[in-house]
Structure 1
Amino acid sequence: MKIFLKRLNDAYHFETKNERGDVVHLDNKSEADPQGGSPMDLILRGIAGCSSIDVVMILKKQKVELEDLQVEVEGFREDGAVPNVFKKIHLNFILKGEVSSAKALRAVELSMDKYCSVAKMLEKAAEISYEVNVNGEKVEA
């Protein structure tokens, strides 16, 4: 895996590109008009994407088709700390469709506890928690 970064202006706007040519823009969130996500923003997007891919893959193997999957991720940092890393990350998985609460919960558990490489990497630095909601109802473990 290889990423290429190129500065696009005289401030903090960067273009990153992977070996396939997929482009993601980065910027400093303190800029007046940021032209991309901040690096820390992309970390939260990474855990959401990684775990969502796992959840969909696990449910597809069980022949469960989702109508919708959304994930809300919130990262908590210690104000004023340098470096200002995430201390806690909380994910809220919101699933809709013909999926049982038990299967949804198990798919999320497998992702977060075993398969999601981003979560496994981040758990070394931050406390990671999650909740699961299916068709508008919170699933209790």
Structure 2
Amino acid sequence: MKIQLKRLNDNYHFETVNERGNVIHLDNKSEPNPQGASPMELLLMGIAGCSGIDIVMILKKQQLEIKDLRMDVEGFRKDDGTVPNTFTRIHVKVYLEGDIPANKAQRAAALSFEKYCSVAMMLEKAAEITYDVTVNGKPVE
């Protein structure tokens, strides 16, 4: 797995490209008009994408119909001025719509965050990862 990075302006705007030609823009979020996601935001996007793939795959294998999948991911960092300012906790809210039993949705999320998602497995070494699941507007207990 390889990516390339190219600086696009005289500040912090970068373009990254993977081996398949997919492009992601990065920038310093403290710039007045950032032109891309910050590297720390990309980590949160990575856990959402990785887990989303897992959850869809697990539910599809059970032949369950997923009408929609959304996630809200929030990263919590130390606010004490230390550098590096890493995430100490990440919380993911998973929202599923469709003909999906609550227990199967919860199990799919658990398998993803606790076993299959490579991004979560890497990040959990540095930050506590928690999640909750909502199916068709109802929180799963």
Give the TM-score of the pair, scaled to structure 1: 0.98
RMSD: 0.4
**Distance in 2, Cα, partners of 1:126 & 1:81:** 16
Offset, 1:81:
1.8
Matched letter for residue 25 of structure 1: H
Query: Counterparts in 2 of 1:108-127, with a 5 A limit?
Result: 108-127=109-128
Matched letter for residue 26 of structure 2: L
Matched letter for residue 130 of structure 2: S
**Distance in 1, Cα, partners of 2:65 & 2:24:** 29
Give the TM-score of the pair, scaled to structure 2: 0.98
> Gapped runs of 5+ residues in structure 1?
none
State the partner residue of 1:45.
Answer: 45
Query: Counterparts in 2 of 1:1-141, with a 5 A limit?
Result: 1-79=1-79, 80-140=81-141
Write out the 4+ residue segments of structure 1 that deviate beyond 2 Å after TM superposition. Answer: none
Q: Give CA-to-partner distance per residue, 1:35-93, whole Å, 9 cap, x none.
A: 00000000000000000000000000000111100000000000112100000000000
**Distance in 2, Cα, partners of 1:118 & 1:81:** 24
Offset, 1:7:
0.2
Offset, 1:119:
0.2
